């Protein structure tokens, strides 16, 4: 990779660490800052630390790390704190190694963690298991920076032996432990934090976030493709500026075309928050908390920085890492390349009758999808019965949802979901948190089956069936990521999402919302490949009331 190497950058220096802006020059040698000089210089561009996504699953961009970097660098992102939990659930250690190697080939600084919950729960089929010894081995690696989100918060509260041993190993090695405890408050939150867990990106109310912040926890303000908590949590920037970081968690490729953490920054500044508090959350806090090797415009730091034309729009003119220009005026300078595609996909084609369910009563439990949230509700609905079997009822926005085990040839698990809004058709995806079996929603068994089979035929992907129309985006890397470039996948994804909306979906991100219908660790009602699951009691429940 041959990129322009620079020795001096001049302009208006935004020194976030010392909370001042001044005219000056930054001197660079061998990729590090040797001096920061306050002096008269021409030009009005601003130089500031690059942005950091403090918690993201790269896999949810549907791009391998190298291609993610080529997109994110354009928006001023210089580093990520990345949990490879998704690919680890599919491929185990092989998947984590794949992400690390792909990331090393790009200039953007990826900081991966050791997944704490593979599988996420014992109530679903996953492709791998990472026990205490595997996690310990990962944590001892120099390229693993933290223990990833501890989703098994019941295990923490009950002081489960394996859960506590993983946390203990991270603490002994001086590596932070990330949290994941949506809605947890009071004594439960105190016990969770006391166990050594230092962050949470799952707060969806300000009350919850403040309670956790008061207990010393770092709170991540998340704004992703499905889970959007910025509007609820942004007051933390004023009341807890030293404990706030920004993250996307899950960001789909159509949005990555247009923005990343730069959008958090723009919105926060537009709301009138102190510029330095906003930039502290976007850059300094992640560096301090995770001990990242990312520069903050101080002498001796890596020469990582961005140049923007103003401090309102934050339009990125250049992104510089280790003294090399990685992006200029919206164009990434890292070259295109090819990528390998490891996978684990053993599902066989299904038949429409595989999705039929006999009626066992007059009423059924229905998953309530909530726009912009990963949490779901539970609704009691009168069953529609056709020839003795439960059927979808699009007139009531009551659709059939199915989970198909991708790791073995097994019968689908079937339930019902509300608020997808599809009038006729089906969607399916092998991006289905956390074990990434195939999740599908549709208005009848035949359409549902066709959508699932499209995913199976491609060994992973996203599909849409609308009458005679069939669309599919192939995701050959673990059934989660494409081998194509970000522009291509971003536009393809925008088109398939638009197709879902023409079928009647009112969801902001139909496929991202679909991917969370199997996320058992988030309340309330979800679907596993083994059946309907109550995320509050952490037990299976019946479809019939």
Rounded to 5 degrees, what are φ and ψ at 431? -90, 95
Can you give the pLDDT at residue 225? 81
CATH class of 8-332: alpha beta
Interacting residues of 123 by C-beta distance below 8 A, sequence separation 6+: 520, 528, 530, 533, 538, 540
* pTM: predicted TM-score of the whole model, two decimal places: 0.93
Can you give the pLDDT at residue 111? 98
DSSP state of 73: G
Can you give the pLDDT at residue 1? 60
Sheet holding 525-528, edge to edge: 525-528, 531-534, 539-540
Q: State the span(s) of the chain assigned CATH 3.20.20.140.
A: 8-332
Give the bridge partners for 33, in sequence order. 28
CA–chain centroid gap for 538, Å, is 23
- C-alpha dihedral sign at 93, 99, 105, 107: negative
Residues of the chain with pLDDT under 50: none
Give the bridge partners for 331, in sequence order. 328
Angle at 113 between CA 108 and CA 116, to 5 degrees: 155
Q: What does the DSSP assignment read for 284-349? A: IHHHHHHT-----S-TTSB--EEEES-TTT--EEEEEETTEEEEETTEE-SPP-------------
- Residue 182, SS3? coil
């Amino acid at each position: 990779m041959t990129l322009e190497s620079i020795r001096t950058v001049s302009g208006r220096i935004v020194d976030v660490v010392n909370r001042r802006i001044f005219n000056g020059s930054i001197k660079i040698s061998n990729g590090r800052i040797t001096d920061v000089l306050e002096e008269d210089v021409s030009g009005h561009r601003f130089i500031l630390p690059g942005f950091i996504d403090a918690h993201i699953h790269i896999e949810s961009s549907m791009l391998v790390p190298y291609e993610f970097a080529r997109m994110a660098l354009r928006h001023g992102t210089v580093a990520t704190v990345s949990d490879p939990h998704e690919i680890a659930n599919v491929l185990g250690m092989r998947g984590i190694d794949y992400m690390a190697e792909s990331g090393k080939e790009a200039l953007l600084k990826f900081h991966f963690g050791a997944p704490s919950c593979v599988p996420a729960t014992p109530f679903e089929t996953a492709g791998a298991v990472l026990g205490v010894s595997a996690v310990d081995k990962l944590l001892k690696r120099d390229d693993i920076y933290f223990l990833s989100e501890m989703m098994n918060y019941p295990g923490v509260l009950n002081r489960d032996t394996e859960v506590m041993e993983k946390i203990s190993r991270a603490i002994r090695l001086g590596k932070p432990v990330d949290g994941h405890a949506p809605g947890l408050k009071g004594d439960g939150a105190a016990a969770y934090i006391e166990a050594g867990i230092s962050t949470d990106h799952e707060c969806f109310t300000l009350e919850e976030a403040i309670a956790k912040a008061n207990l010393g926890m770092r709170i991540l303000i998340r704004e992703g493709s499905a889970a959007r908590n910025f509007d609820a949590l942004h007051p933390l920037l004023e009341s807890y500026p030293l404990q706030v970081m920004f993250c996307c968690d899950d960001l789909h490729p159509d949005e990555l075309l247009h923005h990343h953490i730069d959008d958090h920054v723009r919105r926060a500044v537009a709301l009138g928050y102190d510029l330095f508090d906003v930039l502290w959350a976007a850059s300094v806090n992640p560096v301090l908390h995770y001990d990242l090797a990312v520069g903050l415009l101080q002498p001796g730091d890596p020469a990582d920085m961005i140049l923007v034309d103003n401090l309102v729009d934050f339009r990125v003119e250049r992104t510089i890492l280790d003294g090399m220009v990685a992006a200029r005026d919206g164009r990434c300078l890292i070259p295109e390349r090819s990528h390998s595609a490891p996978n684990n996909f053993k599902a066989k084609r299904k038949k429409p009758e595989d999705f039929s369910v006999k009626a066992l009563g007059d009423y059924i439990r229905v998953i309530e999808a909530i726009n912009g949230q990963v949490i779901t509700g539970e609704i009691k609905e009168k069953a529609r019965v056709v020839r003795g079997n439960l059927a979808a009822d699009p007139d009531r926005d009551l659709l059939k949802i199915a989970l198909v085990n991708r790791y073995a040839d097994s019968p689908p698990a079937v339930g019902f979901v509300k608020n997808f809004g599809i009038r006729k058709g089906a969607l399916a995806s092998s991006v289905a948190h956390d074990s990434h079996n195939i999740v599908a929603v549709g208005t009848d068994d035949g359409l549902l089956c066709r959508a699932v089979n499209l995913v199976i035929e491609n060994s992973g992907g996203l599909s849409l069936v609308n009458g005679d129309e069939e669309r599919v985006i192939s995701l050959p890397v673990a059934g989660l990521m494409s081998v194509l470039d970000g522009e291509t996948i971003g536009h393809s994804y925008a088109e398939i999402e638009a197709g879902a909306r023409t079928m009647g979906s009112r969801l902001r991100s139909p496929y991202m919302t679909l991917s969370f219908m199997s996320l058992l660790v988030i309340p309330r009602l979800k679907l596993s490949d083994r059946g309907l699951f109550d995320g509050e009691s952490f037990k299976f429940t019946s479809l019939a009331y």
